Homo-oligomer: A and B are copies of this chain.
Amino acid sequence: MDWQQIFATRNSRMAASEIRELLKLLDQPDIISFAGGIPDPDLFPAQAFQQAFADALSPENQATALQYSVSEGYPPLRDWIVGQMTALGIPCTRDNILITSGSQQALDYLGKLLLSPGDTALVGWPTYLGALGAFNAYEPRYDRLDPETNRSAEDYAQAAGEGRVKFAYMSVDFANPTGRTLDAGMRERVIDLADELDIAVIEDAAYQSLRFEGEALSPVLAREIARRGDINACRTLYCGSFSKTLAPGLRVGWVCGAKEVISQMVLLKQAADLHSSTINQMAIERVATAQFDSHVAKIKEAYRGRRDAMLRALEAHMPAGVTWTRPEGGMFIWLELPKSLDAAALLASSLRSERVAFVPGHAFFADGSGSNTMRLSFSRTDDVMIDEGIARLGRLIAAAL
């Protein structure tokens, strides 16, 4: 059977993600991995999860925990999230929250909700490669979202050709992959641009809770509510996740936005997987209620130390001509190498001779540029191994120059 000729056209856009393929390498014990956006498992609140799952499976709760549940999500978890959102300047109600299986699923559903083939998605150059993967299934065109330039709304609209610009997607705090944070002025300009284009804004806040220093910037959605007075009049859809704060293996995230959008997304979710795991939503709600703030404070302390170790190591070991970001939080540092270097080729030789893993940057560019960039994650490696890994990488880069 020739499967290729009966696959839908979208499959030509679906390729293996380098990050996921690299994940498979992490099992090899001699690799120093700066790849993946992977939390350190030693920092999981495992004991709290033991209690939470035991409680969810207690005689009084087990019939609920193991049964089908509503597509919208477990009401007490949605209520807990309402509290978090409100504290961030996003007053809302349970009807503004949809629980998803990680924020990756939120991106998939938002692509499904908004993109017909040929529509345009505005994304950063670079941007989160998992967002490109999710959106690709709906066969969009991409254009570069660059609020720092004075490019006009008219120009964006014209470049969309026969489709229509549908949304601007951004990771706003300590972005994956760059570690950069969008400043207040740029956040306001994105709302202006979205108003002019009459499009949605997708605010990916996966790393927002992991701020090590500096003052928190209020989310795009909070700024839009401040302008319009009501979340239900807003165009921004905020995507949150418990994967970086509590644990990714349970696959629990959420979307917060106008009721009209959330209720349409509930229909999409109902048709796509009925609902996210009931027992996992119950466990997350219990752990979050018991210790979200204290646990996040603890992991931020650990990750801050590793960021500092990596910045020190880069300073000590990188040859001249290499530059990098200094993130105020999150898990990533972004390197720019001299233009002559190709990070994908470097990765191949690094895995062979140095046994250090990272993600070549070009995968984060919708236009395939960025071959001289790379993403380093400091989240899963201790200070000694960070120094050792960066020293090896510095040697490799110096030798390639």
Q: Which residues of A contact B (CB under 8 A)?
A: 1-3, 6-11, 14-17, 20, 23-24, 36, 38-39, 41-42, 44, 46, 49-50, 53-54, 57, 59, 62-71, 101-102, 104-105, 108, 112-116, 119, 130, 133-134, 136-138, 164, 166-167, 198-200, 233-235, 243, 247-251, 258, 260-261, 264, 267-268, 270-280
Identical copies in the complex: 2
Would A14 and B268 count as touching, CB distance under 8 A?
A: yes
Contact of A277 among B14, B65, B250 (CB under 8 A): B250
Query: Whole-angstrom distance between the alpha carbons of A133 and B278 in the complex?
Result: 21
Query: Whole-angstrom distance between the alpha carbons of A4 and B275 in the complex?
Result: 24
5 A/B residue pairs, CB under 8 Å, sorted by A: A1-B198, A1-B258, A10-B116, A17-B270, A66-B249
Query: Whole-angstrom distance between the alpha carbons of A273 and B278 in the complex?
Result: 16
Chain B's closest residue to A195 (CB) is B1
Contact of A273 among B11, B46, B102, B264 (CB under 8 A): B102
Q: Tell me the smallest distance from the CB of A1 to a CB of chain B, in Å.
A: 5
* Given A44-B63, A276-B251: A119 in contact with B14 (beta carbons within 8 A): no
Closest 10 CB pairs of A and B: A41-B63, A249-B278, A133-B271, A66-B247, A105-B273, A46-B62, A108-B272, A66-B249, A8-B116, A53-B53
Chain B's closest residue to A1 (CB) is B235
Q: Tell me the smallest distance from the CB of A399 to a CB of chain B, in Å.
A: 33
A276 contact set on B, CB distance < 8 A: 101, 251
Q: Tell me the smallest distance from the CB of A37 to a CB of chain B, in Å.
A: 9
Query: Whole-angstrom distance between the alpha carbons of A53 and B282 in the complex?
Result: 14
A23 contact set on B, CB distance < 8 A: 68, 70
A53 contact set on B, CB distance < 8 A: 53-54, 57, 279
Q: Tell me the smallest distance from the CB of A106 to a CB of chain B, in Å.
A: 9
Would A44 and B66 count as touching, CB distance under 8 A?
A: yes
Would A6 and B199 count as touching, CB distance under 8 A?
A: yes
Contact of A104 among B2, B274, B280 (CB under 8 A): B274
Query: Whole-angstrom distance between the alpha carbons of A86 and B251 in the complex?
Result: 30
Query: Whole-angstrom distance between the alpha carbons of A7 and B166 in the complex?
Result: 8
Query: Whole-angstrom distance between the alpha carbons of A133 and B17 in the complex?
Result: 29
Contact of A166 among B6, B57, B114 (CB under 8 A): B6
Query: Whole-angstrom distance between the alpha carbons of A249 and B275 in the complex?
Result: 9
Would A260 and B113 count as touching, CB distance under 8 A?
A: no
Chain B's closest residue to A108 (CB) is B272
Would B44 and A8 count as touching, CB distance under 8 A?
A: no
Query: Whole-angstrom distance between the alpha carbons of A115 and B268 in the complex?
Result: 17
A274 contact set on B, CB distance < 8 A: 20, 102, 104, 130, 251
Query: Whole-angstrom distance between the alpha carbons of A294 and B290 in the complex?
Result: 38
Query: Whole-angstrom distance between the alpha carbons of A57 and B60 in the complex?
Result: 21
Contact of A6 among B24, B108, B114 (CB under 8 A): B114
Q: Tell me the smallest distance from the CB of A319 to a CB of chain B, in Å.
A: 33
Contact of A248 among B68, B102, B116 (CB under 8 A): B68
* Given A68-B248, A108-B272: A7 in contact with B264 (beta carbons within 8 A): yes
Query: Whole-angstrom distance between the alpha carbons of A88 and B54 in the complex?
Result: 35
Supplied contacts A2-B198, A46-B66, A101-B101, 4 more A-B pairs, CB within 8 Å: A8-B119, A24-B70, A102-B273, A134-B272
Would A7 and B113 count as touching, CB distance under 8 A?
A: yes
Query: Whole-angstrom distance between the alpha carbons of A270 and B101 in the complex?
Result: 12
Q: Tell me the smallest distance from the CB of A75 to a CB of chain B, in Å.
A: 11
Query: Whole-angstrom distance between the alpha carbons of A270 and B164 in the complex?
Result: 27
* Given A14-B267, A114-B7: A57 in contact with B67 (beta carbons within 8 A): no
Would A67 and B54 count as touching, CB distance under 8 A?
A: no
Query: Whole-angstrom distance between the alpha carbons of A31 and B144 in the complex?
Result: 55
A44 contact set on B, CB distance < 8 A: 62-63, 66-67
Query: Whole-angstrom distance between the alpha carbons of A279 and B65 in the complex?
Result: 14
